[in-house]
Amino acid sequence: MADNETKLPAPLTSLSARLLVLTIFFVMVAEFLIWAPSVSRFRKAYLEEHVVRAHLSTLAFEAIPKEAIDRKLEETLLDHAEAYGIVLKGPERRALMASSDMPPKVSTVVDLRKGSFLMWIRQAFDTLVQEDNRILRVIGMSPKSPNITVEVVMDEMPMREAMYEFSRRILNLSIVISLFTAGLVYVTLRWLMVQPMQKITRSIQDFRQAPEDATRDLRPGNRTDEIGVTERELAKMQGELRHALRQQTRLATLGAAIAKINHDLRNSLATAVLAFDKLARVDDPEVKRVLPRLYNAIDKAVNLCSQTLNYASDAMPALKPDRFRLQEVIAEAAAAFREPDDEGRMLTVLNKVDFLIEMTADRTQLFRVFSNLFRNAQEAGAETITITASWESKHTIIEIVDDGPGFTMRARERLFQPFAGSSKDGGTGLGLVIVRDILKAHGGDIELLDDGEPTGVTFRIVMPRRRAQAA
């Protein structure tokens, strides 16, 4: 196994394990959301049941002749109702049952006639967290007569124990449901997502190890969902990358051959230059008339060969981002154009970029960008270039405007194509291609703006705003 091979995660840290844990967690959360109102409803039903039992006890108490009522019977009925005392209130009646002992002091009053959903849940939690036995005074309507109110004085401890027992049953059921549900979800998600992702991952690893081996390509299935789309797109990308790699290999071989040819070509051109010098000394009007055209042809051939070879061998180096002021880089690039070129052309660069605008990029590569743009404008016949810059939320916008003759429609369409976008005779059209390559390597881009004017050119550069990376 290669040292740089990416390993699949261990079972405990895999996507399957995380899905299993998350499923159990969410199921338990759902069970808690079910348990909270359930236990509050259990508490309310418990109290309502005791109100009913208390009312039935008072009815039995009233049905017995007064002479047959003794203290023992009263205590028996109160024990049946699990109450210290019972009071019935109505428009025309009032009955009281109480034990012989003095009832404890009431700690909390619970009125079953009123209350909201959240209040019952809050009271249920309040009951569960108590440690001492509180005395409750429960008030509710009689189930037999809506005009009669029943009041019961009772202990809270038996109810709390019943709520705990109910909660344990709910918990046991929740654990069973969560494990069963998690198992089903785990198996389903592993079949639907995890296994296809593992298949895609292995295919990517195999492709990286041997991109020329077509037998390792992913074989897409018949799925119509996102996974199926991903498999098909990956298979297409692998085929396209393999084709590109083959083309790159051929180009590399061609580049090596061109480099060898370059030596012979330079020797041939040097011989042609020597011959040109000898011809220049010949006192023949016809020779003197042809010599300038011959010199221009040789000079164009030399420039074309040099630029082509430089483009073929000039791979984009690794970027070294740094924080700097944009105005300073533009000024450095413009300094090389303060003097006239070999043909006497002058170029004035108006640097109107705010001093406070900063960028995070490779300073050397950005210098090449502006140098190429200035050189192209000068060779096209521009005399003045104006540069402005502004900030947007996530981008730095740079506009370069010159007063040159502009581009033809044909040149605009092929502006960023190598060896096709030059507007001057003998040019390679590589300047703007290199500019775009550098900007794209930074995550930016360049475009030609159509301002509707027959002359002049406006380029717009968009660069992302980033923080400087630590070295």
pLDDT digits (tens, 9 = 90+) for 213-272: 666 667 777 777 777 777 777 778 877 787 777 777 766 666 666 666 666 666 676 777
Q: Is residue 303 part of a domain?
A: yes
Say what the pLDDT of residue 24 is: 77
Candidates 292, 296, 368, 301; CA nearest to 329 is 368
Q: Is residue 191 part of a domain?
A: no
pLDDT digits (tens, 9 = 90+) for 284-343: 777 667 666 666 666 666 666 665 655 555 555 677 888 999 999 999 988 888 777 666
Query: Are residues 294 and 173 part of one domain?
Result: no
Query: Are residues 333 and 459 part of one domain?
Result: yes
Say what the pLDDT of residue 60 is: 66
Say what the pLDDT of residue 470 is: 39
Which band of pLDDT confidence, cut at 50, 70 and 90, is reported for residue 29? confident
What DSSP character marks residue 6?
Answer: P
Residue 244 one-letter amino acid: A
Residues 155, 160, 163: CA angle, nearest 5 degrees: 140
Say what the pLDDT of residue 427 is: 47
Say what the pLDDT of residue 165 is: 92
Task: Give the CATH number of the domain where residue 354 resides.
Answer: 3.30.565.10
88 close to 142: Cβ distance less than 8 angstroms = yes
- Distance in angstroms (rounded) separating the CA atoms of residues 349 and 331: 8
Say what the pLDDT of residue 71 is: 62
Q: Quote the tokens at residue 205.
A: 């690893």
Please report how the helices 363-380 and 431-441 are oriented relative to each other, as an axis angle in degrees rounded to 10: 150
Residue range 146-155: mean pLDDT, rounded: 83
Reply yes or no on whether the pLDDT at 366 is more than 70: yes
Residue range 112-125: mean pLDDT, rounded: 87
Q: Is residue 214 part of a domain?
A: no
Residue ending a domain, among 292, 313, 334, is 313
Residue ending a domain, among 179, 205, 237, is 179
Mean pLDDT comparison of 203-207, 217-221, 231-235, 460-464, highest-scoring range: 460-464
Q: Quote the tokens at residue 87.
A: 């009071």
- Distance in angstroms (rounded) separating the CA atoms of residues 239 and 212: 10
Query: Are residues 395 and 353 part of one domain?
Result: yes
Residue 43 domain boundaries: 11-179
Query: Are residues 336 and 405 part of one domain?
Result: yes
| Number of domains observed in the structure of the chain | 3
Count Cα neighbours of 276 within 13 Å in the Cβ-side half-sphere: 17
Query: Are residues 153 and 276 part of one domain?
Result: no
Say what the pLDDT of residue 2 is: 46
Higher pLDDT, 209 or 310: 209
Query: Are residues 95 and 133 part of one domain?
Result: yes
Q: Is residue 97 part of a domain?
A: yes
H/E element holding 137?
A: strand 135-141
Residue ending a domain, among 313, 334, 359, is 313
Q: Is residue 188 part of a domain?
A: no
Reply yes or no on whether the pLDDT at 176 is more than 80: yes
Instruction: Provide the percentage of residues in the chain whose pLDDT is more than 70.
Output: 72
Report the mean per-residue pLDDT for the chain: 77
425-434, Cβ contacts within 8 angstroms, sequence gap of 24 or more: 425/300, 426/300, 426/303, 426/304, 427/379, 428/304, 428/307, 428/308, 428/311, 430/307, 430/308, 430/311, 431/372, 431/373, 431/375, 431/376, 432/372, 432/373, 432/376, 433/311, 434/311, 434/314, 434/368, 434/372
Chain mean position to CA 49 = 55
Residue 109 Cα distances to 98, 114, 123, 128, 162, angstroms: 18, 12, 11, 16, 19
Q: Is residue 398 part of a domain?
A: yes
Reading phi first (left if > 0) and then psi (alpha if -120 to 50, else beta), residue 115 is in left
What DSSP character marks residue 129?
Answer: T
Say what the pLDDT of residue 326 is: 92
Query: Are residues 378 and 251 part of one domain?
Result: no
Query: Are residues 448 and 395 part of one domain?
Result: yes
Q: Is residue 22 part of a domain?
A: yes
What DSSP character marks residue 102?
Answer: P
Residue 460 one-letter amino acid: R
Say what the pLDDT of residue 389 is: 92
183-211 b/e (C-beta count within 10 Å ≥ 16 → b): eebbeebbeebbebeebbeebeebbeeeb
- Distance in angstroms (rounded) separating the CA atoms of residues 312 and 35: 71
Count Cα neighbours of 396 within 13 Å in the Cβ-side half-sphere: 23
| Three-state SS at 20 | helix
Scan for tokens 């040099």, then name that residue.
306
Residue range 178-200: mean pLDDT, rounded: 78
